[in-house]
Chain A
Amino acid sequence: MLKEKYKAEIDEILSRYPVRRSALLPLLYLAQQEEGYVSEPAMKEIASILRLTPPQVYETVTFYTMFNLKPIGRFHIQVCKSLMCALVGSDPLIGWLEAKLDVKPGDTTKDGLFTLSKVECLGACGTGPMMQINSDYYERLTEEKVDRILADLKRDGTSTLKSGPFMWPEPAQRA
């Protein structure tokens, strides 16, 4: 039950909006933060908090690709497949990840560590190919860099290779 654990947060979120249902997205984020995905009980609970029907909540969840409807791995790898990244090699990169992790996009590794997804532009087009893992960006990826990231995450739960997002022009090149 979100209400028991996050009463204060929920009240604060609700207080931000004159129209109650506007709190839907923030509450969904809260639910996703808690479980890694938006579960059925969470959708029902949010519906009841906002006086919506469960289908209305479900509709919203399915519209936004950033909400997961299935449990995901500890690390959610979202690789950009939009045009800019595609031009600099996101396709082979995805292939590399599929081979390395032995999963197809949309699936989770057997050990429950990694979920691989293909997503649209993440706004780091100048530094592609790139991916987002949980809330961190990894840019200018190469196969070798990806291997290191995966190993770091497995071992330490985090990686020093995380970056940016870089601004354009990149800070280092700025006058």
Chain B
Amino acid sequence: MPHAAVDTVTLTIDGHHLTVPKGTLVIEAARQAGVMVPHFCYHPKLKPDANCRMCLVEVEKMPKLQTACSTPVAEGMVVRTATTVVNEAHKSVLEFILANHPLDCPVCDQGGRCDLQDFSHQYTPTTSRFIEVKRVFPKEYFSPLIETQMNRCVQCLRCVRYCDEVMDVKALAPSGRGTMTEIKSFLHHELDCEFCGGCVQICPVGAITSRLSMYEYRPWMLKRADTVCTYCGDGCQITIQTKDNQLVEVMSAQGAGRNNGDLCARGFFGYHVSTHPDRLRHPLIRRDGVLVQATWEEALELVAETAVRLKLAHGPNAFAGLIAARCTNEDLYLFQKFMRLAIGTNHLDSSARYGQINGVRALRRVQGTHRWTVTFEDIVSADALLLVGTNITETNPITGLKVKEAVKKRQATLLTIDSLEPAVGAISNIANLSSHHFSVHPDRFKPAVLGLIKAVVEDGHVDPTLAQRAPAYLQTISDSVQDLSWPAIEAATGGTPESFREAARTFARSARAVILIGQGVLRTADGYGLATTLLDLLLLTGQHGRPGCGLAPLAEENNDQGAVEMGAVAEYLPGPGDLSDPAARSRVAQLWKEDLPQEPGLTLMPMLERARAGALKAMFIVGENPVGSLPLSAKAKEALQSLEFLACQELFLTETAQLAHVVLPACSYAEKDGTFTNTEGHVQAVRHAIDPIGESRPDWEIFSALSVLMGYPLEYGDAKEILKEIRSLIPDYGRLGPAPTPMRPATEAVDGYLHTGYATDAADRYALSGTGHEARGAGNDGHLTLLIAQSLFHSGKLSTRSKGLLQVQAEGSLTLNPADAARLGLADRDQVRVTNNLGAMTTTVMLAERVPKGLVLFPEHFDQEARRLLTVSTDPVTQVPYYKLTQVTIERL
């Protein structure tokens, strides 16, 4: 639907004439005219509440002063914000607030950036007529991370409204009434919430502050660096504030970045990772079996010499490299260049292999793009959003906020296919906002998607032009879904034919439809196939290729997308271009002035297999920890132990680094410059906030130094020079702008897919069988399905070294449905043994309504023991290792 031209209104504010869209609030119009109207309760993210009366202004022809924060502009309106009457009003409002506000600015963390201080400075008379005693609230402990100082509260309720309207968490209660209103949680209980820090950020005074940095600074002492969070693919812009090279706090300015100043707990409270005492400060070399401190010269020379020696003896394909997608684009780019040129092998891979690659490969296959065709803005303005296999509020919290905004503020229809049930809890749950929720087992997303497609086909929602454009394609899919029986779909998913029909109708009829898929799709068997099938859904409904519509796979790590685009995966060159595509090869070879290695690259799992077989001799592992991440049955440890030489670049001595012959200390994101590419393909600047810890160096610098010593100099002055080279391969890469320009599907690619491409695996993709664990336990045989899942409070294993996040979640526990718990005779916090044929682990249980019956969840961040119970299967096409699901039995200890 073309959006109707916006009506405008012309008005005058303090003599400025201006024209603004109809519906604009006077306070916003004033801002545009450069006039700041003082305010407390107003915030652009929140609905007007007009409770503080600070923003009163004079409007001609209106008898009384008006609140600028809740008055919409009108044609010809004449507003005055600085008359004597208005100033008097400001004075009296402040006099009332200051009647109770303590004069503790010298010990208040907000001092120096406090709205009340600023407005008082501007409007308050120097004397107060108030002689009564001030209101005093008894001090109460609020939470481990967030502190309240209610005597300072001006009762604007911004915190409460943010927690409800934006976060959908509703953890804050304004208790009592009038002046005695106090922001609390629930009775005397400490706060239990998402710890997004939003209330801290939005409080105009120092009434809600972070405990992590309490009393540590005065705002004007802090040095600021605008950079990007390292904890998930959303890529939030953060400002790291430091004092004497110490990390003091993180904030994100209103309007900043793709996150618009919103953050999650990981971004707001997780920053202490970089200065953890366990950070590696010096290079380590293995001598007589133990890792001992060495100088950079010794360590680099040892790596270079060994590499040269092994290369001579066994050839370049005896090497392999693995890099974490937490690194910058510059690191990733230079890593693959180093592996391909200095070593001479394509055996390189990154953590994008764990799932991201499934999404990218599906997008490339069907529409020839490696990125989303939508942006966060398209999510916000979508009419229908379909979420499949994503607990988005925990994995990608800020993309989750966009979904919440679409549903709560703009009345989008939300459809969800996920294993979690709608249930109100301490953290938000996107299923609560869904109007078509299919709660299916984590290995049953495919039958649910097929149900939707069947309904689309049977109920005539298919794009009429498709019959001409791709008759065979349409025929194949129509036949396949007609062959599926509704009872079988219902048996697999629990969804009735009617529920699929209604959902399909809503989805297909929406003008702007976005499908978001998460780890539930990308990291479980069939991930690649299911992502492809979801693109079929868009093709069938005719929404594919329409602006504002598309499939959006959610990136797990901050630079998963960059890792693919930089060619830091086995099958791609920078671009990404297919390693097997002669044109792509020659473009890269031309720029590098060197031929590329011929042999196709090994991906992660085959790499480990080859190492175990003794065919690989040496590996470079950069920030990746296969020994700590993969199930024990993957035998990553055995594989790495079979190597003649293992070099690791790491922040910490991880399980993997402990096996290395040389460990080189690398800088964390807070110490480097470069770029990250977020889940929507937006390239953003990373800037160092502190100096490198110890002797650590940025990863790219280490590759560069090694290449020089190996006689293949890849020299760069700084990260910017690498970005320049990246730009000569990928024009305009990371021309930093406020928002990404979404890609358009390539017509040739879509045509290719519609004519032949779809056929290779259509039979498999449209079959109900083969959906993984056939014998899943609904509980009757005592079996439950264990899902290793991501938690809101952590990111991989990295964040488990953040002191802030550990205060919210310090260990793993098994979450299960209260009904299952009752059946097993378990109560909250009971100790249990979890067993299957591979092994056992002990842990505590937690009950949660949102976990469906038959399923138990354990956080991947603390899965050291759980990894014993898991097996790995590998995607036949994309070689993604799947190991998040298994069957277990549980008994009380």
Interface residues of A (CB under 8 A from B): 40, 43, 47-48, 51-56, 58-59, 62-63, 69
Docked-complex contact B424 and A47, CB < 8 angstroms? yes
A residues in contact with B337, CB < 8 Å? none
B residues in contact with A62, CB < 8 Å? 173, 175-177
Say if the beta carbon of B186 comes within 8 Å of chain A: yes
Given contacts A53-B186, A53-B426, A55-B173, 11 further A-B contacts (CB under 8 A): A43-B186, A51-B424, A52-B424, A54-B186, A55-B170, A55-B184, A55-B186, A58-B173, A58-B186, A59-B174, A62-B177
Question: Are A55 and B171 also in contact (CB < 8 A) when A40-B187, A63-B177 are?
Answer: yes
Question: Are A53 and B175 also in contact (CB < 8 A) when A58-B184, A58-B187 are?
Answer: no
Most buried by B among A47, A52, A53, A56: A53
List the 10 shortest-distance A-B pairs measured between CB atoms, nearest first. Answer: A55-B173, A59-B173, A62-B175, A53-B170, A54-B186, A55-B186, A58-B173, A62-B176, A58-B186, A51-B424
A residues in contact with B172, CB < 8 Å? 55
In the complex, the chain A residue whose C-beta lies closest to that of B163 is A55
Docked-complex contact A56 and B170, CB < 8 angstroms? yes
Question: Are A56 and B187 also in contact (CB < 8 A) when A47-B424, A51-B424 are?
Answer: no
Task: Please report the C-alpha to C-alpha distance between residue A140 and residue B172 in the assembled complex, in whole angstroms.
Answer: 43
B residues in contact with A69, CB < 8 Å? 187
Docked-complex contact A48 and B186, CB < 8 angstroms? no
A residues in contact with B171, CB < 8 Å? 53, 55
Say if the beta carbon of B306 comes within 8 Å of chain A: no
Taking residues whose C-beta sits less than 8 angstroms from the other chain, chain B's interface range is 10 to 19
Name the distance in Å between A105's Cβ and chain B's nearest Cβ.
Answer: 15
Most buried by A among B169, B172, B424, B426: B424
16 CB < 8 A contacts A-B: A40-B187, A43-B187, A48-B424, A53-B170, A53-B171, A53-B186, A53-B424, A55-B171, A58-B186, A58-B187, A59-B173, A59-B174, A62-B175, A62-B177, A63-B176, A69-B187
In the complex, the chain B residue whose C-beta lies closest to that of A56 is B170
Name the distance in Å between A173's Cβ and chain B's nearest Cβ.
Answer: 38
B residues in contact with A55, CB < 8 Å? 170-173, 184-186
Most buried by A among B171, B172, B173: B173
Task: Please report the C-alpha to C-alpha distance between residue A43 and residue B187 in the assembled complex, in whole angstroms.
Answer: 10
In the complex, the chain B residue whose C-beta lies closest to that of A69 is B187
Please, what's the 1-or-0 string for B46-86, where 1 marks a CB less than 8 Å from any CB in chain A? 00000000000000000000000000000000000000000
A residues in contact with B169, CB < 8 Å? 53
Docked-complex contact B175 and A59, CB < 8 angstroms? yes
A residues in contact with B184, CB < 8 Å? 55, 58
Name the distance in Å between B421's Cβ and chain A's nearest Cβ.
Answer: 12
Task: Please report the C-alpha to C-alpha distance between residue A54 and residue B193 in the assembled complex, in whole angstroms.
Answer: 12
In the complex, the chain B residue whose C-beta lies closest to that of A40 is B187
Name the distance in Å between B858's Cβ and chain A's nearest Cβ.
Answer: 25
Name the distance in Å between B410's Cβ and chain A's nearest Cβ.
Answer: 20
In the complex, the chain B residue whose C-beta lies closest to that of A61 is B175
Name the distance in Å between A134's Cβ and chain B's nearest Cβ.
Answer: 24
Most buried by A among B185, B186, B426: B186
Task: Please report the C-alpha to C-alpha distance between residue A52 and residue B423 in the assembled complex, in whole angstroms.
Answer: 10
Task: Please report the C-alpha to C-alpha distance between residue A69 and residue B187 in the assembled complex, in whole angstroms.
Answer: 9
B residues in contact with A43, CB < 8 Å? 186-187
Task: Please report the C-alpha to C-alpha distance between residue A40 and residue B176 in the assembled complex, in whole angstroms.
Answer: 16
